[in-house]
Structure 1
Amino acid sequence: SIDATKPLLTYSRPKGEYKGADADAIMIDFWLSNAKLQGDGGEYRVRYSVDGGEAKFIDKWEPIWLSGWTNGPHTVKLELIDKGGNVVDNGGYNVTPREITVAK
């Protein structure tokens, strides 16, 4: 179960299906509770990857837009990472893979 006093990453977007112009640039967005990212004066990072590819980091809490999507299903994974580079455990909720579909 979730510990409401510990850092928590809540995945917001992307989700569902993106069609036509909506699929040109797709936003990654999330909520953080009890944690600040490094660029915002804290000690955490959000790591993301698409389709199991190269992991990249978000150090400021702001939407990130990704482009270059191909048609079909894609998996986007978000993880909350501590200053030691480890996933922050909180009831299994700080690692979230989600499948989306792109139809241009």
Structure 2
Amino acid sequence: MKKYILISVSALFFCSCVQSKIFLYEVEGSEEFPNSSLTINKIKSEGSDFFFDFNIDNYELGSQTSKNFKYNLANSEKGQHIHFILNNGPYSAHYESSFTKKIEGDSNILLAFLSRSYHESVKNPNAYVIQQIGGGENIDLNQEFLFYSRPKGTYEGLDTEKLLLDFYLVNTELSPDGNKVRLTITQNGLIVHYTTLDRWVPYYIEGLEKGEVKIKLELINAEGNLVDTKFNPSERTIILK
């Protein structure tokens, strides 16, 4: 049975009342990869050029991910990959375990995790690494983090119909009585969705119109207040064509 939230928001815009209906479903049927793992073998730097060498077990980069659902989610033809996120910015996708990145400044926070070919993160405890990159003041990596992952960029054609919503949690959990993620979606200047999520699972969004869409994710505590941590809240703008 599909698990979904029907979101219905009325908004006032140029003195007109707009009614929007959007569906938010949990993604079910993804291969789990409970034994996959990601670790860093080596980081080597020359100026702002950083060479990363990752070790991956029980997970094949470049393979297409098998799934037990038939609907379409935007998928990489290059297959499974690593999502590489620096300071909660938009990720870069890497299909090899070794690569070079240009990183400026000090006190950068790297999150890297294994990603399915359709960009859903692998959420087992060994499928990610978090590390400070560069010098500068030490950052407490034991604090609670929410990192934004999807949706991202520009979507066209069939890929606009269902958008994967995915984020990565570190050092925290979601529950009905504890921390939650507040999701706000704005389209064409109107808030078309405002709700809280108490399960760390992938979702997909259905019902958005073409145009610019803004996604905001907030890690909140049991009282509904923002958790005091870096990169909170997270915001992205995407385009549907």
Shorter-normalised TM range: 0.7 to 0.9
Amino acid at match of 1:71: K
Counterpart in the other structure of 1:21: 158
Give aligned-pair identity as a percent: 37
Distance 1:84 1:5 in 2: 22
Shift in Å at residue 48 of structure 1? 0.4
Q: Which moved more, 1:2-11 or 1:73-82?
A: 2-11
Residue in structure 2 matching 1:95, options 212, 233, 238: 233
Instruction: Identify which of 51, 66, 84 aligns with 2:223.
Output: 84
2:155 partner letter: Y
Alpha-carbon distance in structure 2 between the residues aligned to 1:33 and 1:3: 12
Distance of 1:13 and 1:3 partners within structure 2: 25
- Pair 1:7-2:112 in alignment: no
- Inter-partner Cα distance in structure 2 for 1:96 and 1:87: 11
> Quick check: 1:46 aligned with 2:184?
no
Comparing both structures, which one devotes a greater share of its residues to helix? Answer: 1
How many Å separate the matches in 1 of 2:159 and 2:215?
17
Instruction: Give the deviation of 1:3 after TM superposition.
Output: 3.1
Residues 57-100 of structure 1 deviation map (CA, whole Å, 9 limit, x = unaligned): 11111111111111111100001010111011213x02011000
Match of 2:200 among 48, 56, 61: 61
State the Cα RMSD in Å.
1.7
| Structure 1 segments of 4+ aligned residues over 2 angstroms from their partners | none
SS at match of 2:158: helix
User: Normalising by the residue count of structure 2, what TM-score does the alignment of the two structures yield?
Assistant: 0.39
Compare CA radii of gyration and give the structure with the larger one: 2
Alpha-carbon distance in structure 1 between the residues aligned to 2:228 and 2:208: 30
Distance 1:36 1:43 in 2: 8
Select which of 160, 169, 174 maps to 1:32.
169
Query: Are 2:195 and 1:74 equivalent residues in the alignment?
Result: no
- Whether contact under 8 Å (1:3, 1:90) holds in the other structure is no
SS of match in other structure, 2:159: helix
In 2, the alpha carbon distance for the partners of 1:3 and 1:81 equals 19
Structure 1: state its 5+ residue gaps: none
In 1, Cα distance between the equivalents of 2:171 and 2:145?
7
TM-score normalized with structure 1 length: 0.88
Aligned residue-pair number: 100
**2: distance between equivalents of 1:71 and 1:100?**
10
